[in-house]
A and B are shown apart, each in its own frame.
Chain A
Amino acid sequence: MTASPKHQMSEKERYANFLYNKEDGTYLGRSKEGWAKICLFYLVFYGMLAALVAICMWVFFQTLDPRIPKWQMDSSIIGTNPGLGFRPMPTADNAESTLIWFEGSNKTNFNKWVNNLSAFLDKYYTPGKTEKGTASIRKCSYNQPPKRGQVCDFDVRLWGECSPDKFFNYHRNAPCIFLKLNRIYGWVPEYYNDIHDLPENMPDDLKKHIASVKPEERNTIWISCEGENPADIEYLGPISYHPQVQGFPGYYYPYENSEGYLSPLVAVQFLRPVSGIVINIECKAWAKNIKHSRADRTGSVHFELLID
């Protein structure tokens, strides 16, 4: 009931005894066999637990289709408002900036942008490289949309000037920026294909362009790029879009996770931007079911250009 007043070990001794007790041959209060037993027990226990979890997972995964996501578009979090992205991407060492800054006269300087682009476009130049040959790739056009399971190839010649051979024209201070729309399974754009039903805020240039496009080619997600402020517009100068249709052709949609699918790209070339000044540029993708949100970076994209 009560502790004897004598017979007390020092703190240090007790500690040492706990670590290794010579008398009982115990380490950390447990003999070697004890440790072996307990390790074995937990090996078995956790093994069984892991197996159980694995089995549960496997069973549940059987209910899911490996090629079709369970939740799509609005029932998923990904939603129906695809993000718009641009390439080249700023490098990781300047992670959160959106500034494309280069010196046209300095090859080593602009080469990192060019390499970045080349790497990104690699699969467009060698289609089917990533797949194992199971993809059925074919040439599509507005009149010949792909059948189910087929994917459309992408004619890199449509990018014209914007090719790796020409360093995407970075060396001539007329850089190409590639725009891409995030893939969303099953998402079908609702096109602005009626020239009388175009939104108010669509740039006039684009409206004119749409009017000039052949009606069957109007099933396109249009792209427009502008300087953000009047000054930026002035500094930015003329813009040319490749391919000529100035958008993502509708026959690439919907994306259904088919082998070899390549997202359509639009190369935007800024022909004569003023150098030595940061130009704010905003590009937008236009379809009735694309909402532009700067904060979520969906439907529109912002970047800056600085040429030394």
Chain B
Amino acid sequence: MGKKKEAKPRKLNRKDQSLKRLENFKKEIVTDHHTVPIDVLCSRLETDIERGLSQYKARQLFMETGPNALTPSRKTPEYIKFIKTITEGFSLLLWIGASLCIIAAVIEYVYRKKVDTDNLLLAAVLVLIIIMTGIFMYYQQNKSSKIMDSFATMIPQKAEVIRDGQQITVNVKDLVVGDLVDMKFGDRIPADVRITKSQGFKVDNSSITGENEPLLRTNQCTNENILETRNVAFFSTNAVEGTAQGIVIMCGDHTVMGKIAGLTARLHPSITPLARELNRFMTIITFWAVILGIIFGVASIAIGYPWIDSALFIIGIIVSNVPEGLLATVTLSLTVTAKKMALKNCLVKNLEAVETLGSTNVVCSDKTGTLTQNKMTVCHLWYNGDVVQADISEDQYDARKYTETPGFDILIRCATLCNRAEFINTRTPRKYIMKWEVRGDASEAAILKFIELTRLEGDPDEFRKAHKKLIELPFNSTSKIQLSIHALANNCLMVMKGAPERILERCKTIFINDDVEELSDELRQTCEKACFELAARGERILGFCDMEMKDTYTYSYPFTIDPLPNFPTEGLRFVGFISLIDPPRPEVHNAVETCKTAGIKVIMVTGDHPVTAKAIAKEVGIITTDSIEDAALFYNADHDETKDAIVVSGTTLRELQQDELDAILYTYNEIVFARTSPTQKLQIVEGLQRLKNIVAVTGDGVNDSPALKKADIGIAMGISGSEVSQQSADMILMDDNFASIITGIEEGRKIFDNLKKSIVYVLASNIAELAPCLMFIVCNIPLPLGILAILCIDVLTDMLPAISLAYEKAESDIMKRTPRNPNVDNLVTFRLYFLAYCHIGVLEACAGFFVYFLIMYEYGFKPNRLFGLRPEWDTYYINDLEDSYGQEWSYEERKQLEYTCSTAFMIAVVVCQWGDVLACKTRLNSIMVQGMTNWFMNVSILIETLLAIFLTYTPYMSYLKFYPVGLHCWLYALPFSGLILLFDEYRKFCIRNYPRGYFYRETYY
């Protein structure tokens, strides 16, 4: 089945096209639309900065470029998906079996005019099994991806556009490159727009960067990189403040968001490790079954069997070799685990992902919202010359204990008054102040909450009311300060906060050592140093200062700030800094530690600044060393090899070649990527996958979605996560708790171990099914185990015990070992086959034959009579076959005897599977240690037995070739069942005591 290579050039087929499109989506945007002077841009786009495009030009462009919308990715029709599920893996083999049955029946009908009900029944049962498994798998896999739909909800409907100098409202779809658009707060940006005019225009780029803080947009180009520059607003982001006008420079799929959407929707997630293992397993089984089938089929034809018989042999070999129930077992086991994980707040969307977490060896985590709480919180205070750490834990209980020094008092007064944030619904008491809702800017909200915690001045609201605000200068990005004047008892107080350097330069005195001192150069340096130290921790610092105003400025003084303040705004008293950070979630540190113990590398990939990223990384334990390599130096000759950690910024990453990135990923154990774009996140994931890592990606933003989709397992946040990220992910953490990943890893590793056990269990009965078939062909004995009985074992009695192994508890501390190496530690190893086939399987086959020969003897056929008897036995016209006692058996009678034996054989296998399932409970420990507390298993053994009883003793089962057998038949197999258990206990004993011994080397799976 060699693939033919087509040398001749041809048109791109659909697959190539979509691949090419995907490659386009992956490219970083390189453009100078935002850097060139505005008039150059205008002439380039044939537009006008005042009048916009002409209607004609706009229409023409629309015809050329199409609508400003996201192109949906092509979807595979559902019926194709279903057909795929029923033609994959084992199904194909079973189809062969079923068609052989039908062919045999047709031939029978054509030549003998006889309806061969046996073969037709068998074909029907086989097809039924295929379809049932197919439907089952289809339902499990059919997670209709709504990625594009979720993107669509982010896109605005209408836009204000200026064409021919007239403002009109158009559908966003009708926008074209060059259009002049008006935007105001509350809108979504209708395309990638270069700002031409703006008034306090702020956008929230969180869908692209992951950081939801309002960013100022002006008409100045501040960076070569389009993602960093200030004069571009992006498609589908939110305008939160102000108004602006701009020229559309990119539309639809070419926009930054369009690329993210296109990437996310078109990326094909790499095949899961478990699927890879299962495919490998199915390939091996298929190969083995086909080889065996061909050998025996050809041999039997060569020997001279009629080819109907040969077909029957092949059907038997195929059916007995294929573990029909296995795929369903695996899926159900995974479902069981997924349910368990759902209880622990891990919602699994893609079942196979359950195991993927277990084999994950790299976790790429987004910072904001995943590792951190995504809530600005006061973390340090600097006043009176000291740094005081604020409590950033969730309950912040310690916060109430801050010492009430005079300096603190002053700082808090200043912070309370110079703050515009307000609590919403303060009167409904909530458990944690952290979770109270606040109206206002994130930093101010954080400070307000801190004040509420300390309650130094009582209710901040009351305090503010008591000190009436006379005038206010809101924060603005040029002056970077905010000031307000409040009425005190006798005079007025001016309070000011802002960027530390701006605040310090306005101060003349400082409150230090419980006193007001002159702000000398020395003290100024002390302040700057403190500020620098806090900044190095990635914290956002605000300086505070105040001034009691001179008597001239009373309440009645007509304060104004327009155009300039009519009061002095310099010579203030510096009172301290408050530094803020988005603090890590408290449980993250332990979780990261556990990951590291479990041999999993945790990499931070964030859109935030390197300094903040590094600080948080250190805090949560992603970086544990102080010697951090600067990525820019990596390819200098003198870079320090001994360093273990590295921080790579997006700018550096952009300049790295693919192999350089790979080298970084390979060399360093502790890596932080900062300032990364969505495509770079994807590149990092792909780099890790090139190095044969199994990568988990956690993220909550739209910007994470391509990486989430590409990762071996994408993990989204349930509460804070955007819909797009949840649609792209395989798993959702319902409590947003990074630590829940640990549960996932643990369950994933356990299920992998337990799946191995299930497979051993299921495969063991294969030999007991195959051996009768081979004996039937080779020794010509009447068929000891019918094909329907084989199917009943595989899809009925074996199912539940195999699934129950998924409930088995872990044998050792699975979180202390390293992740499995997907290249070496396979699900199904040679040793596993060996144990299942050559040890347990052989014992089961022995039990089956033992029962078979015994029953045949009891009814009159001694073993020596049976060998070579098959041709006469199966000949319909021989109605008087003589047994060892000289009795003559009619065809119907001996067929009934055959089916009775087959039933007894099945019962023997069921009885042996009791011992087998107990033997499979553990891979290493004695069953005495493991215990019998797995009640699901105990019950499933009972149900297995009841099913066998049902098949055997229900009256109408004779239609399915089951006949009642004596109770003693159950007992005959019991010693073998015990032997399986005993032998396996002995084997495990040897493995435990001779870790390098034979049993370990050959049979430890």
Contacts and interface: CB of A to CB of B under 8 A. Distances in A.
B39 interface: no
A78 B854 contact: no
B719 to A, nearest CB: 32
Given A46-B842, A69-B887, A182 B860 contact: no
A281 B704 CA distance: 85
Contacts of A57: 850, 853-854, 863
A37 B663 CA distance: 45
Contacts of B890: 83, 182, 296-298
In the complex, which of the residues A42, A46, A97, A182 has the most CB atoms of chain B within 10 Å of its own CB atom? A182
Contact of A77 (B879, B897, B972, B975): B897
Nearest to A60: B854
Q: How large is the interface on A (under 10, 10 to 19, 20 to 34, 35 or more residues)?
A: 35 or more
A15 interface: no
Contacts of A79: 893
Contacts of B843: 49
B692 A3 contact: yes
Interface in A75-134: 76-79, 82-83, 85, 89-90, 92, 95-98
B690 A64 contact: no
Given A70-B858, A77-B896, A255 B693 contact: no
Given A79-B893, A182-B879, A257-B885, A96 B860 contact: no
Contact of B887 (A52, A78, A89): A78
B361 A2 contact: yes
A41 B998 contact: yes
Given A76-B860, A83-B880, A185 B885 contact: yes
Interface in B206-225: none
Contacts of B823: 3
Interface string A20-49: 000000000000000001100110001001
Contacts of A277: none
B889 A96 contact: no
Contacts of A298: 890, 892
A220 B351 CA distance: 74
B654 to A, nearest CB: 21
Contacts of B361: 1-2
B281 interface: no
B890 to A, nearest CB: 4
Contacts of A77: 859, 893, 896-897, 900
B657 interface: no
Contacts of B857: 60-61, 64, 70
B406 interface: no
A298 B888 CA distance: 12
Contact of A69 (B690, B860, B888, B896): B860
Given A41-B998, A77-B859, A89-B877, A184 B887 contact: yes
Given A1-B818, A297-B879, A78 B975 contact: no
A46 B878 CA distance: 38
B886 A78 contact: no
A37 B875 CA distance: 46
B850 A69 contact: no
Interface in B857-894: 857-860, 862-863, 875-880, 882-883, 885-893
Given A1-B818, A5-B690, A64 B858 contact: yes
B409 interface: no
A49 B842 contact: yes
Contacts of A53: 846, 849-850
A68 B875 CA distance: 27
Interface in B485-519: none
Contacts of B663: 5
Interface in B344-366: 361
B942 interface: no
A69 B861 CA distance: 9
Contacts of B662: 5
A147 interface: no
In the complex, which of the residues B361, B665, B883, B885 has the most CB atoms of chain A within 10 Å of its own CB atom? B885
B659 interface: yes
A85 B880 contact: yes
Contacts of B853: 57
Contacts, number: 129
The DSSP consensus for interface residues of chain B is: helix
A67 B857 CA distance: 11
A98 B878 CA distance: 11
Q: How large is the interface on B (under 10, 10 to 19, 20 to 34, 35 or more residues)?
A: 35 or more
A4 interface: yes
Nearest to B692: A3
Nearest to B838: A42
Given A5-B662, A41-B998, A296-B892, A180 B854 contact: no
Contacts of B885: 67-69, 185, 257
Interface in A168-185: 180, 182-185
Interface in B93-142: 112
A263 to B, nearest CB: 8
A71 interface: yes
B893 to A, nearest CB: 5
B973 to A, nearest CB: 11
A154 interface: no
B64 to A, nearest CB: 44
Contacts of B666: 2, 4-5
Nearest to A261: B886
A68 B886 CA distance: 10
Given A77-B893, A257-B885, A180 B880 contact: yes
Interface in B830-864: 838, 842-843, 846, 849-850, 853-854, 857-860, 862-863
A38 B859 contact: no
A104 to B, nearest CB: 24
Contacts of B879: 83, 85, 182, 297, 301
In the complex, which of the residues B665, B823, B853, B854 has the most CB atoms of chain A within 10 Å of its own CB atom? B854
Contacts of B1002: 38
B385 interface: no
A231 interface: no
A301 B890 CA distance: 12
A149 to B, nearest CB: 14
Contacts of A71: 858-860
A96 B850 contact: no
B601 interface: yes
Contact of A78 (B842, B850, B889, B972): B889
A98 B846 CA distance: 40
B370 to A, nearest CB: 23
Contact of B892 (A1, A41, A255, A297): A297
A2 B822 CA distance: 10
Nearest to B853: A57
B877 A96 contact: yes
Nearest to B846: A53
Given A182-B880, A183-B887, A257-B886, A69 B659 contact: no
A38 B691 CA distance: 37
A82 B879 CA distance: 10
A298 B843 CA distance: 40
Contact of B692 (A2, A42, A180, A296): A2
B859 A98 contact: no
A34 to B, nearest CB: 9
B602 to A, nearest CB: 13
29 contacts: A1-B361, A5-B659, A5-B663, A5-B691, A41-B998, A49-B843, A69-B859, A69-B860, A69-B883, A70-B858, A71-B858, A71-B860, A77-B896, A78-B887, A78-B889, A83-B879, A83-B880, A89-B878, A95-B876, A97-B877, A98-B877, A180-B880, A182-B887, A183-B882, A183-B887, A183-B888, A184-B888, A185-B860, A257-B885
Given A182-B888, A183-B886, 12 more contacts: A5-B659, A49-B842, A57-B853, A68-B885, A70-B858, A77-B893, A78-B860, A79-B893, A82-B888, A89-B877, A296-B890, A301-B879
Q: Which 9 A-B pairs have the closest CB atoms?
A: A83-B890, A182-B888, A3-B692, A70-B858, A296-B892, A85-B880, A183-B888, A69-B885, A69-B860
